[in-house]
Chain A
Amino acid sequence: MKKLRKASSIVLCLTLSAALLAACGSNEDGGSATSTVEGVKKEGFPIVDKPLTLKVMSQDAGVADWNTMPVLQEMEKLSGIKLEYQLSPIDSFETKKNLVFASGDLPDMFYAADLKPAEQVTYGTQGILIPLEKYIDEGYAPNIKKILDENPDVRKSFTTPDGHMYALPFIDTAAVWYRGPMWYNGEFLKALNVEEPKTTEELYTYLKRVKEEDPNGNGQQDEIPLTSVKLDDLRMYFFGFWGMYNEGIYADKDGKVHYPYQEEGYKGYLTFMNRLWKEDLLDHETFSQTGDQKKAKGESNKLALFNDYHPYFTLGGEPSTKHPLMTPVKSEIADSPVYGKHPGISARGTFAITSSNPSPEATMRWIDYMYSYDGATLFNQGPEGLLWKFKDKENLVKEWLPVPGGGDREEYRGKITPNYGILTPGINDPDIAKGLRTEFDEWIDQQNQEKLVPIGKSPFPNVYLTNEEQSEATALLSDLDTYVKQMEAKFVTGQEPLENWDKYIAQIKKMGSDRIVELYQGAYDRWNTGQ
């Protein structure tokens, strides 16, 4: 059996080499296209007998030169694979990636690839990205295989309509948040002696009290009960109050797909927000301020309710447990509140192998390491002895070491590993952080479990549309989204009276909102039946 496998992998590699020579792959190194597959081990390190160089393209947070990072140097030592980097700043990665695809100037693999489902389908079917499942199933990715077998939904979500997996996700089974949640300023709650509001009416009353009763105690009516930046930060959370799981397409508990901007719940949301705006409970600078300005307001203790990843990001200071996570409130909609919970895998592909790669097997083994405890530790926390060490190796309990040279640990981490500020392939295994979690981390978990998980459901799985469907959806959505956003602002600020709701609905239906639902319902049904 093993011999057969080996033989077929050799044949595979030779076929690939032939394909490589036929295609216009201008690969300087790793261009030793003649088979290296004999030298690829399925277990253990180093991965290859003969030195192998691979070109990798990735996003780069710009903190340090990748050639000097201890994590990558360690990985090179372990694996025997040398890497050449083709890096791009985060904000221009999309452009550069598209250019690379369009021009055929391909790297061997994409790391932190940020591949949308549409891109996976397009480039996969064109042969630019190669199918990965065969390497996983043939034993070149034991860790990944284990995870996929234990979580069939993951495989389902990353298999395109033609039956192949062209990209790998980032897996975080413990993830709850899609984006930062809402937080109450705990000091205000205490000053006004209230418990967290449970319904939208109670929320309204509380915000009104914040405005009038000077909870920050400075004698000025400078409190801003609720603030936001263009409503983008709080929209998804607030939609949950009216029974909608997502600020885009979502599927409800019965598998029916909705476009939230034509739902009754959306009308409820608009009415409520308009009420807040009229009474100056919603910051009138919402639509024009920058994130910086919002932060400044938080740091001068003016905010009662706001959105951020952690409350101390906006309020300043150190992590503390005195600012509670906002409990989603109930509205007039039945079946509310709900919460759009993170599905546990990234929506986009974080890793892919291109057709010009000389050794997909070795590459697969290389990336598979990140899906193991050791690899995830290395790439997230650095090699042992630098930022952390084992306190109790038996039970895999770690502890932090003092940061070399003093300074912020997060900043230092950015210098030693590429996994900083970008979405990388790998897993976030709760085991990795054993012993390293702070009280604050534990407290957040507890808040999540208490307030969000019970009402949480993943809003929409990773579905793939066909190329035609995708073009149609894109064309419709681009105009629709613009219109919806503009109207939202007008309804909330009162420029457009809510009596015109029916006119608004008529317009978006004319622009194709029902067709959008139709398209995505079809894709959802396909996904559900596992086709």
Chain B
Amino acid sequence: MQPEGKSALSQNLSVYTIPNSKKNKLWRRMIRNWELYLFIAPAFLYFLIFHYGPMYGIQIAFKNFIPTLGVTGSPWVGFDHFIRFFNSYYFWDLLWNTLSISLYELAIGFPLPIILALAFNEVKDSFFKRTVQTVTYAPHFISVVVMSGMIITFLSPSSGMIVNLVEALGFQAPQFLTDPAWFKTVYVLSGVWQSAGWGTIIYLAALSGVDPQLHEAAVVDGASRFKRILHINIPAIIPTITILLILNMGSILGVGFEKILLLQNPLNMGSSDVISTFVYRSGLVDAQYSFSTAVGLFNSVVNAILLITVNQIARRTSENSLW
């Protein structure tokens, strides 16, 4: 049925063809793949309505938003909010803290799920395997409020069990909770603890797409497990790794505020105050939508620049990139 239809169509098209054969091919492809447009329609509509629809709201970053006047009626203030942000006594500290926490998280938190996933993959499906997997992925669900409570309890100078452990090993336990030098480490390591297991899921899914025949062939060739992982498994998940890395770079200024807020205190503030907590504090005092939108916009622009840059790098050096 189809082939005849196709040739009939291409016959017709060849009669009425515009001299440019490239365009002709384009049209043909579009028509042949018409169903793909249906496939993408729901997502397209979704983004159009729910993301582009409200996007006019960005302008309030440049306005002084007054609810009764609405977004369009509120007066313009140009870059006032941005200037206020940049002039803040704490601007550079905030920027530095936000960036360094993000990069720290990336450096430790990114490779770990990969290694863990590769390790899981080597184990035969068994009770042990399933237990370890289920257990490591459980912390992901702990709410941030409970998590912070636990961190404070475990690191409490007088009764925390980690402190006890360190002292039992003969070391002087540092002030984990109040020393600014320790804040980032505590934040990042607890975050890794919470999310490493969960992070393996996507890699496991990718690994399951590896053709076992490749492994069989390699074993026959005498390759050790380690070599096999290096040459078969890892290349199989490189696309996933690259994409996730790019995406992570693109949210580098987006350090969430809840967990930080709960772990923050006046003594470690120099190291723990980030852009989002600053906006939360100053934004909440007077429902300062305009100000927080402006800062959010700043964040977005920086993130976008980073993402594009990293994507270009990825494009040049590998076949994998977002676009």
Classify A-B as touching or not with yes or no (CB < 8 A).
yes
Which listed residue (A102, A287, A288, A478) contacts B282, Cβ 8 A?
A478
User: Given that A289-B156, A474-B286 are contacting pairs, would A126 and B68 also be in contact in the complex, using a CB cutoff of 8 Å?
Assistant: yes
Tell me the complex Cα distance, A83–B153, Å: 45
Which listed residue (A102, A123, A482) contacts B90, Cβ 8 A?
A482
A478 touches B281 (CB 8 A): yes
Tell me the complex Cα distance, A162–B245, Å: 56
Within 8 A of B (CB), among A464-500: 470-471, 474-475, 477-479, 482-483, 485-486, 488-490, 493, 495
Is B11 in the interface zone, CB < 8 Å from A?
A: no
Q: Is the interface of A mostly helix, strand, loop or mixed?
A: helix
User: Given that A230-B265, A475-B84 are contacting pairs, would A288 and B67 also be in contact in the complex, using a CB cutoff of 8 Å?
Assistant: no
User: Given that A287-B178, A288-B177 are contacting pairs, would A479 and B266 also be in contact in the complex, using a CB cutoff of 8 Å?
Assistant: no
Interface residue tally for chain A (C-beta within 8 Å): 39
Tell me the complex Cα distance, A104–B68, Å: 7
Interface residue tally for chain B (C-beta within 8 Å): 31
Is A511 in the interface zone, CB < 8 Å from B?
A: yes
A289 touches B68 (CB 8 A): no
B282 touches A474 (CB 8 A): yes
B266 touches A470 (CB 8 A): no
Tell me the complex Cα distance, A98–B273, Å: 25
A479 touches B89 (CB 8 A): yes
Tell me the complex Cα distance, A163–B294, Å: 34
| Chain B neighbourhood of A308, CB < 8 A | none
Tell me the complex Cα distance, A364–B269, Å: 47
A290 touches B89 (CB 8 A): no
| Chain A neighbourhood of B178, CB < 8 A | 287-288
B89 touches A511 (CB 8 A): yes
> In angstroms, how far is the closest chain B Cβ from the Cβ of A467?
10
> In angstroms, how far is the closest chain B Cβ from the Cβ of A235?
11
| Chain B neighbourhood of A475, CB < 8 A | 84, 282
Within 8 A of B (CB), among A191-214: none
Is A94 in the interface zone, CB < 8 Å from B?
A: yes
> In angstroms, how far is the closest chain A Cβ from the Cβ of B190?
15
| Chain A neighbourhood of B270, CB < 8 A | 486
Measured CB to CB, the nearest residue on chain B to A477 is B285
A94 touches B284 (CB 8 A): yes
| Chain B neighbourhood of A289, CB < 8 A | 152, 156
| Chain A neighbourhood of B88, CB < 8 A | 479
Is B33 in the interface zone, CB < 8 Å from A?
A: no
A288 touches B90 (CB 8 A): no
Tell me the complex Cα distance, A477–B286, Å: 12
Is B254 in the interface zone, CB < 8 Å from A?
A: no
Could you say which of B158, B282, B287 has the most chain A C-beta atoms within 10 Å of its C-beta? B287
Within 8 A of A (CB), among B212-230: none
Is B66 in the interface zone, CB < 8 Å from A?
A: yes
Which listed residue (A103, A287, A290, A470) contacts B267, Cβ 8 A?
A287
| Chain B neighbourhood of A178, CB < 8 A | none
Which listed residue (B156, B266, B281, B288) contacts A230, Cβ 8 A?
B266
| Chain A neighbourhood of B152, CB < 8 A | 288-290, 293
Within 8 A of A (CB), among B270-323: 270, 273, 281-282, 284-289
Is A61 in the interface zone, CB < 8 Å from B?
A: no
| Chain A neighbourhood of B289, CB < 8 A | 98, 102
* A interface residues, Cβ below 8 angstroms from B: 94, 98, 101-104, 118-119, 123, 126-128, 230-231, 284-285, 287-290, 292-293, 470-471, 474-475, 477-479, 482-483, 485-486, 488-490, 493, 495, 511
The 7 A-B residue pairs with the shortest CB-CB distance in the complex, in nearest-first order:
A489-B266, A288-B177, A98-B287, A478-B282, A126-B68, A102-B67, A485-B266
A101-B67, A290-B149, A489-B267 given; name 18 further pairs at CB < 8 Å: A118-B286, A126-B67, A127-B68, A230-B266, A285-B157, A285-B158, A287-B267, A288-B156, A288-B175, A471-B286, A474-B286, A474-B288, A478-B282, A478-B285, A485-B266, A486-B270, A489-B265, A493-B267
* B interface residues, Cβ below 8 angstroms from A: 65-68, 84, 88-90, 149, 152-153, 156-158, 175, 177-178, 265-267, 269-270, 273, 281-282, 284-289
